[in-house]
Chains A and B, each alone.
Chain A
Amino acid sequence: DGGITQSPKYLFRKEGQNVTLSCEQNLNHDAMYWYRQDPGQGLRLIYYSQIVNDFQKGDIAEGYSVSREKKESFPLTVTSAQKNPTAFYLCASSISSGVYEQYFGPGTRLTVT
């Protein structure tokens, strides 16, 4: 089955620790995206990558970092600099950045205490 996987589904961390969220896709898509969703809110773009070894900041990139070393993988690191990291994180991909039909993963719910 083709799709996007995110792991783990739930993640708990102590304040001050960096944490990396995994996102893998086997759809052969060039573009990948990371969104953050807070309770009762819409999705906000953190970072996106149009092609391997390239990525751009979204609307709320501060306190986050990404890498795109392989086409299939786009991990997100939530650093200790992110002031309010507790949220639902969603990864998505599309055939290319100009195609707006995005496929989303199941999400990772991160809780930092």
Chain B
Amino acid sequence: LAKTTQPISMDSYEGQEVNITCSHNNIATNDYITWYQQFPSQGPRFIIQGYKTKVTNEVASLFIPADRKSSTLSLPRVSLSDTAVYYCPFGNTGKLIFGQGTTLQVKP
């Protein structure tokens, strides 16, 4: 059964770089890895997507090793507004498989 595993929570301070790692059990060859951010009582928001190696956009970087069994979301210089839950679902036959997510708490 395909699933993702992440740390339940992480703490950081404003201005620091945060790396959140996720393991992707049974990810298929054609599946893409995505990361989403969710604030309380809101729908998740897409952050970044990748297949392998490194992807960077204006918000974050995504590192995927060659075996693709894990991925790391890197948030540079976090602020208080980055406090949220982060999910790393991967695509599986047209569906996204969500795990429980990582609650990131950014402190001043």
* Interface of A toward B, CB cutoff 8 Å: 4, 31, 33, 35, 40-45, 48, 50, 58, 88, 90, 92, 97-98, 100-107, 109
Q: How distant is the Cα of A79 from the Cα of B91 in the complex, in angstroms?
A: 29
| CA gap between A102 and B35 in the complex, in Å | 11
Given contacts A107-B41, A107-B42, 12 further A-B contacts (CB under 8 A): A41-B100, A42-B98, A42-B100, A44-B98, A45-B95, A48-B94, A100-B34, A100-B49, A100-B96, A104-B44, A105-B43, A106-B43
Compute how far the CA of A103 lies from the CA of B90 in the bound complex, rounded to whole angstroms: 15
Cα separation A92 to B44 with both chains bound (whole Å): 9
Q: Which residue of chain A has its CB nearest to the CB of B94?
A: A97
A103–B45 Cα gap in the complex (Å)?
A: 7
Q: Give Cα distance in the complex from A85 to B95, angstroms.
A: 22
Question: Known contacts A103-B46, A107-B42: does B94 contact A31 (CB below 8 Å)?
Answer: yes
Chain B residue with Cβ nearest A107: B43
The interface size of chain B toward A, counting residues with CB under 8 Å, comes to: 20
Sample (16) of A-B pairs whose CB atoms are under 8 Å apart = A33-B96, A35-B98, A42-B98, A42-B101, A43-B87, A43-B89, A44-B98, A48-B94, A48-B95, A90-B44, A100-B32, A101-B34, A104-B43, A105-B43, A106-B42, A109-B41
Query: Which residues on the B side are within 8 Å of A50 (C-beta)?
Result: 94
Q: How far is the CA of A48 from the CA of B96 in the complex (A)?
A: 10
Q: How far is the CA of A44 from the CA of B99 in the complex (A)?
A: 9
Closest to A104 in B: B43
The complex places the Cα of A50 from the Cα of B41 at a distance, in Å, of: 26
In Å, the complex CA distance between A103 and B32 comes to 16
Q: Complex Cα distance A100/B15, Å?
A: 30
Complexed CA–CA distance, A43 and B101 (Å) = 9
